[in-house]
């Protein structure tokens, strides 16, 4: 065994061996679904989510005759997307609180960059189904769903249903956390379950924040730490925005 | 009609006529429930929530034989707590996504300041039932639930079930938002529905942040705005901590 | 220990120390809800029920285009209204048989004194939510709901929606039971759980009976006992009618 | 047109042409189910209910290790038991409030004459399924379920599971109502839907009352009317008790 | 004990003592329900199913304004139709997979011989409720439901709603199986639970096959065995068609 | 327009341009799931199903202490696996009858070739989730699930949980149908929706039939047609068995 001098401080090592501000390998594969008007298979490392955008020519009751459209999302996880099998929500007969929380977040995030009035009375439903889970499924979902939504709107333009794309900006999301006192970007499952603080940041291409959700799992965090996480998120989403642009160009 | 000179900029007015950093009148009435081990009726202006803490001598399956306790929360709203009657969730047969999101937040917030190991294998369930809703029901719930939980633990000490109170710190919550470009504290319903950004901040007595949830309803917000909201929240929760201390002394 | 002579018959004592024909202290506080068109907080001793009346400008499908209105009720209990916490019905996903039985009784009782044709096509929903339970929650609900309903109709008159109040009479309810062989009025929880017979009587201001539900918990009861209970109920509801009149005058 | 003298009072005619105190033809056929431990097909005129009693060697959780048994009931109606088809409750996914009310009443009525302690830790479930409905299904159910329960206990005696029959008395039920001002016995569907007052009376062989439920559908009723209904019920159940005795002798 | 020579092969004995190609005693009693437009009580030995056909003057949404009718089925079992009591599906809050599978099969089978266009926009719902179960409940249901459907259409002709009966042919069903290596007709419960292969065959009067469902419970079966089962089914349904003709003539 | 001579009979063309006895391109990709003990991504043309096998060290209640294992299946479809979006079953709160029918079939098919006693008290759950649907999802599921199950058992052998693979044989399934009078193999969605008869055949490697389900969508079919379909199925499954063997060798 190596004999360390007293006071030796180990260099920083994330379980994933990534640098503190390093994303996992992210790929966005457009057109991954055969039938959907828009789709994207998004991978953040091992995490894999299939995002499809389905257009329907009607709106929920509260928007009827408003001339305005709607964007909504549903989220699901295959039972064996996880390390040990989870119950199938359809068999249990209800969606968990976590599922509902996530699908509400995805819907809100996409509506934040969509000109609903420019859509006319149509609804786009984003289905984000997790094929493999390894942390960050909600942020991957938002990031991939934006691509699917963009492509669905382009599809509608091709069909002469829309004149121009109602998306006003890009939106992407990334998780950040504090791991052994250090703010780190894009937590995988292992890191997430051990992080002291865990946050999800949804940001726009123009640099604005759409949503922040940060939770202390262990000790409370400070304003400085929140600011550091936000800085990391800004860096991470900048990379995601570039990948989104590539994906819609394909 | 008054003839204003060009460029006149109206002074800042909140719909509630409160100053930007002014809480509504907050009261915390301990012992509001006849039967519960601990309870608190909390009012933030017109908003009124009855918080009860119920002790049960067993834990959920995942904690059995762990020697550790559990703190959990349920949230509900009387059908006519709101301006127009809402459906009764028991009659509809399920809790909404919003309800589940809120009760998960309340539970997490209280566990963040509780030494679960010091509880032994008991469960405390916090029921937060909104009698009148006028914005800020979730933050009022957290603030009042802490008082109810404290009193329930004191009750257990009085019954020789616990030696000392397992609460390590206080926890309280407040909403902040950006209203006509100005960060303001403690939004009521009117303000909340018109705010550009709306956030909930859960903080500890020691000044740490337990949870931040901030959402842009209209335009995205900036890092500076988030910091300003956090500053307001710190001021607001400081006042709430003082009121909590008064309440448990009664 | 005192040495009683053989054949000594103890004087009658109710657990509550009340006389056989004595109501608990009853208060009816009108306007207890901020938002409802009509409301009343009713207390029968410790039992406490918030009754709200909500007006909606439409009727159930079976009354559409009938020119007739509808009065219906929903009943609920806060989880910790009871000595030990009960499951939240919204979380369990269904209302118990007891809950449904009670809300059907409340609705029927109020419709018995309402001129539904005089309402036009509106629905009034009475929500009766038990804040503290100590026996007699369904009879307190009916008694308080009448006040809430009356006030809601007055509110509609004030808004020029109705010309006159469609209530034809008062309705109130009280429980009676047989306790150690003696008929007694207005059972509290303790008395109720030990009574041999337990009945609920719904009566009108004009002295008619709208509903009788009497159940032998132990030995069956006789016709004479039923008549005695009805007599007590008549006395009790007479006092309740006076209190209702006071409440709507405030 | 016949010219009636002023003050002519039409003789009393029930829609069914029965006398005021006349039951419909009642038959109780024991052993109507091939598999059940006890069973009875009960007919009140056209109304037809199959009652089965099923014995299981365990009790609900609240009675475990109490040495005491339990008697409970479930009630159902075939979708086309009624004039127009009703929804199937299994397909709708829940039992109506009416169904739950009735099955609770059946269970209570039978427990009132059963010595639960003498049963040991067994449960008997009475299933009362309405094959044809023409009014009075709940009273027919109680009357027939007593026969099924008696036979099931006899079956258990034959199997040496019980030493003696735990039934302390008979129980039967009948509806009565006020029809055009006259109290009448055993309402069929037509009469029931036009009656001013409608009541169900559950009585024991020894002449005691187990349960009274009387509801004014139109005008409230008086104490005298309630007494008259009870008198009719006593006469009607006397006939039912004789038929029950015949049925268990077969 | 009798001493059999080696190689002795026992003669074939079914548990029911029936010949391999012998049906149980089958009776079809038309008009068994008082209220339904068409009905039939069908018995296959001990198995007893009440089939009712209810006509409604509307169609499901997917057929609105198509000028075409619909035939559908629901299936249920009384809790004590079986040897030991089964849960009531209405109380459990959902229909089992088996129930849904059977009711879909019944509906498909009847639609196969109905000219839906000739019905106009009406729906006939077949309710098949098992009063006693002893194997073959789904095949008895189909066989009896055809009679009920036929009678309901005749009823509609009598009411001048239809001009001619939209049934193009008869349909009946029977189970067959392989028992100790021998193909046998019409399995009862005992035989069914021990059969190596179990199949249900739905056939038309003209000799066509509408549906085959054959399952190997033990060893897989061969093409020859399937053909043998189909031959038995043809013989069995020929007898059922004759009985159906008798039933609709009554 | 071409002038065909009278009596000209067009050559046979399937919509898919395949020969009558030609499978779509089938691929079986083992190990497609990161976390599952066994998995297979199966493609039949465009149809794509992810099959995972999850091992759990316990059995359902009816098998406890029997020393025997269990194999079961669940089936689901991503909402946009289909041409137009289908409702998410988890959001609707229940699985459709079709879903239940399919998952029961998959489970039965795999149990038919598994030595449950050789498994010991473990359960393997096969999740078959359809990513893209184009006809034949249930037969693809069975075919792929066998590979997943085989690999899961091999995994258990590698972990010393099992000594040998409890699979006694292969099982695979294929659909066949009658299209314009001609029996054809492996229907895609287009063909399936136009076929007169549609059947699913589950067969074993040894050539036995495990399950046949054949339904006439239009005209009834004959014994000869059923035999022809079975012959096609035998040819098709022979090719599938070869592909399964390749897949488990990878």
User: What pLDDT does residue D30 have?
Assistant: 98
- Kindly indicate the confidence band of residue C2, based on its pLDDT and cuts at 50, 70 and 90: low
Touching B (3+ Cβ pairs <8 A), the chains are A, C
Contacts of B112 in chain A (CB under 8 A): 216, 220
In chain B, % of residues over pLDDT 90: 86
- Among C109, C171, C209, C235, pick the best mutation site for testing chain D contact (most D Cβ within 10 A): C209
Does position A153 have pLDDT exceeding 90, yes or no? yes
In chain E, % of residues over pLDDT 90: 86
User: What pLDDT does residue E201 have?
Assistant: 97
User: What pLDDT does residue F4 have?
Assistant: 62
Q: Is residue F19 part of a domain?
A: no
Residue of B103, B208, B216 with shortest CB distance to A209: B216
Domain span at residue A132? 26-248
Residue B159 and residue B169 in contact, taking contact as beta carbons nearer than 8 Å: no
Q: Is residue B104 part of a domain?
A: yes
More confident residue, F166 or E94: F166
Does position B180 have pLDDT exceeding 90, yes or no? no
Residue of F80, F90, F125 with shortest CB distance to A36: F80
Does position F16 have pLDDT exceeding 70, yes or no? yes
Query: Regarding beta strands C70-77 and C123-132, do their DSSP bridges make them parallel or antiparallel, or are they unpaired?
Result: parallel
Whether chain A has a CB inside 8 Å of the CB on F79: the answer is yes
* Residue D6 backbone dihedrals phi, psi, to 5 degrees: -55, 145
Average pLDDT of every residue of chain F: 93
Residue of A103, A112, A209 with shortest CB distance to B222: A209
E strand or H helix at D238: helix D223-249
Among the listed residues B246, B244, B60, the one whose alpha carbon sits nearest the alpha carbon of residue B142: B244
User: What pLDDT does residue F250 have?
Assistant: 80
Does position F13 have pLDDT exceeding 90, yes or no? no
For residue C126, the distance in angstroms to the closest alpha carbon of chain B comes to: 10
User: What pLDDT does residue B2 have?
Assistant: 57
User: What pLDDT does residue F231 have?
Assistant: 95
For residue D75, the distance in angstroms to the closest alpha carbon of chain E comes to: 10
Count of structural domains, chain B: 1
Contacts of E60 in chain D (CB under 8 A): none
Contacts of E34 in chain D (CB under 8 A): 46, 132, 134
Q: Do A220 and B112 touch (CB under 8 A)?
A: yes
Q: Do B227 and A222 touch (CB under 8 A)?
A: no
User: What pLDDT does residue A13 have?
Assistant: 76
Q: Is residue C17 part of a domain?
A: no
User: What pLDDT does residue D167 have?
Assistant: 98
Rounded CA gap, F123 and F58, in Å? 6
Does position E24 have pLDDT exceeding 90, yes or no? yes
Residue of E209, E211, E215 with shortest CB distance to F211: E215
Who's near A84: CB < 8 A, 6+ residues apart? F35, F54
Q: Is residue D210 part of a domain?
A: yes
CATH of residue E176: 3.30.230.70
Supply the DSSP string of E80-138, one letter for each residue.
Answer: GGSSSPPPPHHHHTS--HHHHHHHHHHHHHHHTTB-GGGG-S-EEEEEEEEEE-SS-HH
Residue of A100, A204, A215 with shortest CB distance to B211: A215
Rounded CA gap, B201 and B232, in Å? 10
Q: Which residues of chain D have pLDDT under 50?
A: none
Binding-site annotation: residue ranges of D for phosphate: 98, 136-138
Q: Do A94 and B97 touch (CB under 8 A)?
A: no
Q: Is residue B12 part of a domain?
A: no
Binding-site annotation: residue ranges of C: 98, 136-138
Average pLDDT, stretch E8-30?
85
Query: Where on the phi/psi map is residue F116: left (φ > 0), alpha (ψ -120 to 50), or beta?
Result: alpha
Rounded CA gap, D119 and D153, in Å? 9
Sheet holding E47-56, edge to edge: E26-30, E38-44, E47-56, E123-132, E70-77
In chain C, % of residues over pLDDT 70: 95
Return the residue of A nearest to F123 by Cα: A85
Residue of F98, F209, F222 with shortest CB distance to E220: F209
In chain A, % of residues over pLDDT 90: 86
Rounded CA gap, A149 and B105, in Å? 30
- Kindly indicate the confidence band of residue C11, based on its pLDDT and cuts at 50, 70 and 90: low
For residue F83, the distance in angstroms to the closest alpha carbon of chain A comes to: 5
Residue of C101, C211, C220 with shortest CB distance to D214: C211
Whether chain E has a CB inside 8 Å of the CB on D155: the answer is no
Whether chain E has a CB inside 8 Å of the CB on F219: the answer is yes
Q: Do D101 and C101 touch (CB under 8 A)?
A: yes
User: What pLDDT does residue E250 have?
Assistant: 80
| Rounded-to-10 torsion of CA B18, B22, B24, B28 | -170
Rounded CA gap, E144 and E148, in Å? 6
Q: Is residue B146 part of a domain?
A: yes
Residue A106 and residue A145 in contact, taking contact as beta carbons nearer than 8 Å: yes
Q: Is residue B81 part of a domain?
A: yes
Q: Is B158 annotated as a binding residue?
A: no
Touching D (3+ Cβ pairs <8 A), the chains are C, E
Q: Do E81 and D35 touch (CB under 8 A)?
A: yes
Among the listed residues E151, E205, E127, E142, the one whose alpha carbon sits nearest the alpha carbon of residue E174: E142
Q: Is residue D103 part of a domain?
A: yes
Touching A (3+ Cβ pairs <8 A), the chains are B, F
Does position A38 have pLDDT exceeding 70, yes or no? yes
Does position A164 have pLDDT exceeding 90, yes or no? yes
Return the residue of F nearest to E169 by Cα: F220
Q: Which of residues 92-131 of B touch C (CB under 8 A)?
A: 93-95, 99, 125, 127, 129, 131
Q: Is B138 annotated as a binding residue?
A: yes
Does position A69 have pLDDT exceeding 80, yes or no? yes
Angle at CA E166, nearest 5°, toward E165 and E172? Answer: 100
Q: Do B90 and C83 touch (CB under 8 A)?
A: no
Tokens of B99: 């309800």
Tokens of C4: 């009683």
User: What pLDDT does residue C55 have?
Assistant: 98
Whether chain E has a CB inside 8 Å of the CB on F203: the answer is yes
Rounded CA gap, B79 and C76, in Å? 10
In chain E, % of residues over pLDDT 70: 95
User: What pLDDT does residue C1 have?
Assistant: 53
User: What pLDDT does residue B217 have?
Assistant: 82
Q: Scan for tokens 């920083």, then name that residue.
A: A12
User: B86-143: per-residue pLDDT in tens?
Assistant: 999 999 989 999 999 999 999 999 999 999 999 999 999 999 999 999 999 999 999 9
What percent of chain A is helix, strand and coil (3-state, nearest 5)? 35, 30, 40
Contacts of E131 in chain D (CB under 8 A): 33, 50
- Minimum mean pLDDT range among B104-113, D241-250, E28-37, F217-226: F217-226
C-alpha atoms less than 13 angstroms from C-alpha of A177 in its C-beta half-sphere: 25
User: A229-249: per-residue pLDDT in tens?
Assistant: 999 999 999 999 999 999 999
Q: Is B136 annotated as a binding residue?
A: yes
User: What pLDDT does residue F14 have?
Assistant: 84
Return the residue of C nearest to D94 by Cα: C94
Does position B161 have pLDDT exceeding 70, yes or no? yes
User: D115-160: per-residue pLDDT in tens?
Assistant: 999 999 999 999 999 999 999 999 999 999 999 999 999 999 999 9
For residue D216, the distance in angstroms to the closest alpha carbon of chain C comes to: 5
User: What pLDDT does residue E5 have?
Assistant: 65
User: C28-57: per-residue pLDDT in tens?
Assistant: 999 999 999 999 999 999 999 999 999 999
- Minimum mean pLDDT range among A209-218, B159-168, E128-137: A209-218
Does position B163 have pLDDT exceeding 70, yes or no? yes
- Kindly indicate the confidence band of residue C8, based on its pLDDT and cuts at 50, 70 and 90: low
Q: Scan for tokens 């199937």, then name that residue.
A: D88
Sign of CA pseudo-dihedral D45, D49, D50, D55:
negative
Contacts of B229 in chain A (CB under 8 A): none
- Kindly indicate the confidence band of residue A180, based on its pLDDT and cuts at 50, 70 and 90: confident
Whether chain B has a CB inside 8 Å of the CB on C132: the answer is yes
Return the residue of D nearest to C105 by Cα: D215
User: What pLDDT does residue B1 have?
Assistant: 52
Q: Do F216 and E227 touch (CB under 8 A)?
A: no
Q: Which of residues 8-67 of A touch F (CB under 8 A)?
A: 33-36, 39, 46, 50, 52, 54, 56
Does position E102 have pLDDT exceeding 90, yes or no? yes
Return the residue of A nearest to F53 by Cα: A80
First and final C-alpha spacing in chain F: 54
DSSP, collapsed to helix, strand or coil, labels residue C203 as: strand
């Amino acid at each position: 065994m190596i004999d360390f001098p007293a006071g030796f401080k180990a260099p920083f090592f994330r379980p994933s061996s990534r640098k503190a501000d390093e994303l996992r390998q992210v790929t966005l594969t457009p057109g991954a679904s055969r039938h959907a008007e828009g789709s994207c298979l998004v991978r953040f490392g091992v995490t894999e989510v299939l995002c499809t955008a389905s257009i329907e020519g009607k709106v929920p009751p509260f928007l009827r005759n408003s001339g305005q459209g709607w964007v909504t999302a549903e989220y699901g996880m295959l039972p064996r997307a996880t390390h040990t099998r989870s119950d199938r929500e359809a068999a249990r007969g209800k969606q968990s609180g976590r599922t509902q929380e996530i699908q509400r977040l995805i819907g809100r995030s996409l509506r934040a960059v969509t000109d609903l009035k420019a859509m006319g009375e149509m609804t786009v439903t984003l289905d984000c189904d997790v094929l493999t889970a390894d942390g960050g499924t909600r942020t991957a979902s938002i990031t991939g769903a934006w691509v699917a939504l963009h492509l669905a709107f382009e599809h509608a333009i091709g069909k002469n249903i829309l004149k121009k794309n109602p998306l006003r900006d890009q939106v992407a999301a990334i998780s950040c956390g504090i791991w052994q006192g250090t703010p780190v970007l894009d937590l995988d499952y292992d890191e997430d379950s051990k992080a002291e603080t865990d946050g999800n940041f949804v940001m726009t291409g123009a640099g604005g924040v759409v949503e922040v959700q940060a939770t202390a799992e262990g000790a409370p965090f400070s304003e400085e730490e929140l600011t550091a996480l936000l800085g990391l998120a800004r860096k991470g989403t900048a990379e995601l925005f570039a990948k989104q642009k590539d994906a819609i160009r394909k």
